[in-house]
Amino acid sequence: DTEVTQTPKHLVMGMTNKKSLKCEQHMGHRAMYWYKQKAKKPPELMFVYSYEKLSINESVPSRFSPECPNSSLLNLHLHALQPEDSALYLCASSQDGPATNTDTQYFGPGTRLTVL
């Protein structure tokens, strides 16, 4: 089973709201990722957690705050977002993570975020 789940599927929020995106996997993977994807563009890496520690932050603005409570869960806390942050937010997981060059990532269905 290569299932990564994400909630919610859709989210509409105002620029002053605080919300969180959630991601879960039960494949025993030790690396989890957040990507942002705009329409007709490829996924862009935001954060990587490896063994529950943040290992890569792609210079993401602080209004996005990741959290990895345990090896199965990954959250993305959102605060004071801008309309241009509207996108599909994808979570992925892989067996080992960025220290391994042959790792395969599996994606969740994404959360479609609209910021008003």
Q: Which residues form the interface with another protein (CB under 8 A)?
A: 2, 40-45, 48, 55-56, 88, 90, 98-110, 112
Q: Work out how close the CB of 6 gets to another protein at its nearest, in angstroms, rounded to a whole number.
A: 9
For 102, what's the count of Cα atoms within 13 Å in the CB-facing half-sphere?
A: 0
Q: Closer to another protein by CB, 18 or 41: give it.
A: 41
Q: Which is closer to another protein, CB of 17 or CB of 98?
A: 98
> Could you identify the residue written with the tokens 């790792």?
103
Residue 21: CB minimum distance to another protein, A: 14
Per the listing, tokens 């690396």 go with: 31
CB 27, min distance to another protein, A: 13
Nearer residue to another protein within complex by CB, 3 or 15: 3
Nearer to another protein, 80 or 107 (CB): 107
Please report, to the nearest 10 degrees, the dihedral formed by the alpha carbons of residues 105, 20, 6, 37 taken in order. Answer: -50
What is d(CA 67, CA 52) in angstroms, rounded to the nearest whole number? Answer: 9
For residue 66, CA distances in Å to 34, 40, 41 come to: 8, 25, 22
